[in-house]
Amino acid sequence: MTRRRSPDPAERSRLLDAAAALAGTTAWHDVTASRIVRAAKVAATRFRVHFRDVGTWLAAAQQRFMDGIRDRIVARTGTLPPGFERLRAASEIYLDGCLAQNELRRWLIEARGALPGLADGLERQNQVYVMVMTPEFARLGWPHPAAAAQLYLAMLMEAGVVESTAGRAVADVRETLWDFLRIQQ
Amino acid sequence: MPDRSPNRRQYLVAGTAYASRLPQLRVTAVARAAGGSVAGLNRLFGSFSAYRVELMFHWLDGIRDAVAGVLARTEGPARLPQAVQTWLDANLACPAVRALMLEQRRDPKIAERIQQRFRGFVVVLQLELRERGWVRYEVAGRLYAAMAIEVAQSEFEAGRALPSLRETLRLALERP
């Protein structure tokens, strides 16, 4: 009698690592479970142990990408005082994190139009960011801090798109963000 | 005997008026509102789907013209905030057409045409910010347009104007 192996976290991680590799070579809609297991060097039968389909694999890859940025933000800004410096540091980590995985991020943005699950995951993350940033904007003196946090996040995401197209950090983009943060100071 | 059946523009104007009152477009109701018929609408546009695409661009043209009108008749510091408020009001006025736009932009060709309209809005913002002496007006125009779009989307989802978002956007645009 053969026993079905339980999910192995390292194997799952290798399957998700394949997203970055495939993003540089393949259109997202051409990705199949076979291509993923080949890129991850994992047995073909193992894909469905971890993921229902390519859509859930993409959603997991997006979640890991977002979690990575969030973890770096928490690690590096936790000791900073609330307000301008903390928001600026967090924003730089976000933008640098997007640039570091530029191809994967572009891929995920393209896929979001067709896969509502991806857009939902991003929407949930954005809601959390707005909630976390609201007290920071209150500290900066904005009369409607939640609204300021929401609009700043919209700017930050657009800044990510501009830098993604440029393929590098763009000083004017970042200074425009810091100008917004300074408006009420 | 003169042909009294509505022309393309009359169907589009009727559709816009209808969409400002009701959340969903129905071909029979639109045709009736224009004083025409479903067959007449299909003859002019090819199909109701094609009509819906034309209606969306007619609506976007109307928004552009409303903003241009404000810019043409307003001077001074109120000019840009008023133009943006007009843009937001116009976006909010026709939820059925905005919903249509969100649906239609899944088609890459239509998405590109919609993007062209938004790029026009970005250019208007950039020119106004340059006029105000903003140093980084090109980037700021693009990022501030993203904020305005965020307000419009939130208001569409809420089904009403959201004063805290509008006030925040106004404060950002009026910064010294």
The whole-angstrom distance between B68's CA and the closest CA on chain A is: 24
Q: For residues A111 and A23, is the Cβ–Cβ distance under 8 A?
A: no
Helix extents (H) in B105-136: 108-131
Structure tokens of A47? 């894909």
Backbone phi and psi for residue B118, each to the nearest 5 degrees, phi listed first: -70, -35
pLDDT in the model for residue B174 = 86
Distances (CA, A) of B140 to A35, A155, B22, B114: 41, 9, 36, 21
Q: And the tokens for A81?
A: 């005082």
Nearest CB to B143 within list A114, A142, A155: A155
pLDDT for res B176:
63
Element housing A51 (H / E): none
Spell out the residues 6+ positions from residue B58 whose beta carbon is closer than 8 angstroms to its own.
B12, B13, B15, B16
CA distance B84 to chain A (A): 15
Two structure tokens written together for B71: 């810019």
Task: Identify the pLDDT of residue A5.
Answer: 66
Name residue, tokens 């830098």: A163
pLDDT at position B3 over 70: no
- Chain A residues with CB under 8 Å of B144 CB are 155
Q: What is the DSSP letter of A144?
A: S
CB-CB contact of A32 with A44 (8 Å)? no
* pLDDT-based confidence at residue B22 (cuts at 50, 70, 90): confident
Name the helix (H) or strand (E) containing B51: helix B48-73
**Neighbour tally for A141: CB within 10 Å:** 12
CB atoms within 10 A of CB A142: 24
Mapping DSSP to helix (H, G, I), strand (E, B) and coil, where does residue B140 land?
helix
At residue A3, does pLDDT exceed 60? no
Task: Answer yes or no: is pLDDT of B109 > 90.
Answer: no
The answer, yes or no, to whether residue B90 has pLDDT greater than 60, is yes
Rounded Cα distance between B92 and B102, Å, is 14
Which chain A residue is nearest to residue B148, measuring alpha carbons?
Answer: A151
- The question of ipTM being above 0.90 is answered as no
- The alpha-carbon gap from A26 to the nearest alpha carbon of chain B, in Å, equals 19
Candidate from B106, B142, B165 with C-beta closest to A151: B165
Contact flag A143-B171 (C-beta cutoff 8 Å): yes
Query: Among A142, A69, A55, which Cα is nearest to B167's?
Result: A142
Chain B residue at shortest CA distance from A170: B139
Q: Which of B171, B173, B175 to mutate to test the interface with A (most CBs of A within 10 A)?
A: B171
Q: Name the pTM for this structure.
A: 0.89
Chain A residue with Cα closest to B149: A154
Contact B4, B77 (CB under 8 A): no
What H or E segment, with its residue span, contains residue B167?
helix B163-173
Chain-chain contact of A155 with B147 (C-beta, under 8 angstroms): yes
Residues 62-121 of A with CB under 8 A from B: 113-114
Which residues of B make CB contacts under 8 Å with A? Answer: 105-106, 136, 138-140, 142-147, 149-151, 154, 162, 164-165, 167-169, 171-172, 175
Q: Positive or negative CA dihedral for B159, B164, B165, B166?
A: positive
The rounded distance, in Å, linking the Cα atoms of A60 and B6 is: 53
What residue has token string 């930050």?
Answer: A156
Comparing alpha-carbon positions, the chain A residue that sits nearest to B141 is A176
Q: What is the pLDDT of residues A111-149, one digit of tens each?
A: 887 888 888 888 999 999 999 999 999 999 999 999 999
Six-digit token string for A66:
């977002």
Nearest to A58 by CA among A120, A6, A117: A117
Yes or no, beta carbons of B171 and A158 under 8 Å apart: no
What average pLDDT score do residues B68-75 get?
A: 93
Of B5 and A105, the one with more pLDDT:
A105
A155 touching chain B per CB within 8 A: yes
Asked if A179's CB is within 8 angstroms of B140's CB, the reply is yes
- Given a cut of 80, whether residue A170 has pLDDT beyond it is yes
Contacts of B98 (CB under 8 A, 6+ apart): B91, B152, B156
User: What confidence tens digit (pLDDT) does each residue in A42-54 have?
Assistant: 999 999 999 999 9
Over residues B7-33, the mean pLDDT reads: 89
Higher pLDDT, B2 or B28: B28
* Average pLDDT estimate for A156-168: 96
Q: Contact B136/A176, CB-based, under 8 Å?
A: yes
Lowest-confidence region among A103-107, B20-24, B77-81: B20-24
CB A145 within 8 A of CB A137: yes
Query: Is there a contact between B141 and B126 (Cβ–Cβ < 8 Å)?
Result: yes
